[in-house]
Amino acid sequence: MGRGLRRLIPAVACCWLAAGLAGCDYTTREAAIVAPVDPPGGDPVQEPTDVKYYPSDEPVRMGLEQYNRGNYGIAQRYFKDAVEKSPKDVTAWVGLAASYDRIRRFDLADQAYASAIRLGGETVQILNDQGYSLMLRGNLSGARKKFEKAYSLDPGNPVIANNLELLNGSRKFIERPPNNQP
């Protein structure tokens, strides 16, 4: 019996100690929760729900993400939302135009490029994108003019140089149907 009692006493002591500590922990947590006191005169910080509108680049960010994934139709919807919310955002207009190019809505792409040029002028990016748009349509001479103008503004730009090389390659390998011979 002496041996069993020796084992029982430490076990009971541990249980009492654990129960006591658990009670202290609960009391400590309860004591730490204090209700905040409202400052006199109301809260000077404005809640986000109180703001009627604040511009966000979320539609542009999502449009770029979808465009880079190859989801051009979805990208077009995000960019369209962006230009409706912020009509002076050149990046949104250029993204919208590029998306329209990829879904072969060249008429709408031209309108978006025109809006971007009105806002930011003929930048290297816009000229390059317009050249690529014209190349997609098969207007190789128009594309060359846009690429050369962009290249004159930024001769070290590898994207423009690559597009010019691509254009040169497309002129060398023009395909015609077999029955369309002179």
Cα 34 to chain centroid, rounded: 41
Question: pLDDT at position 26, please?
Answer: 47
CA 110 to chain centre: 23
Residue 171 is predicted with a pLDDT of 62
Q: What percent of the chain lies above the pLDDT cut of 90?
A: 59
State the average pLDDT over residues 97-101.
97
Q: Where are the domains of the chain?
A: 54-121, 122-172
| pLDDT over 70 percentage in the chain | 63
Model pLDDT, residue 82: 95
State the fold for domain 122-172. Answer: 1.25.40
pLDDT tens-place string over residues 10-35? 665 555 555 555 555 444 444 445 54
- 32-69 pLDDT tens trace: 455 455 555 555 555 555 444 556 789 999 999 999 99
Domains 54-121 and 122-172 share a fold: yes
Query: In Å, how far from its chain's centre is CA 153?
Result: 28
Homologous superfamily of domain range 54-121: Tetratricopeptide repeat domain (1.25.40.10)
Q: What is the pLDDT of residue 28?
A: 44
What pLDDT digit, counting tens, does each position of 103-138 carry?
999 999 999 999 999 999 999 999 999 999 999 998
CA pair distance 94, 145, nearest whole angstrom: 19
Quote the pLDDT of residue 149. 97
- What's the sign of the alpha-carbon dihedral 167, 172, 176, 181? positive
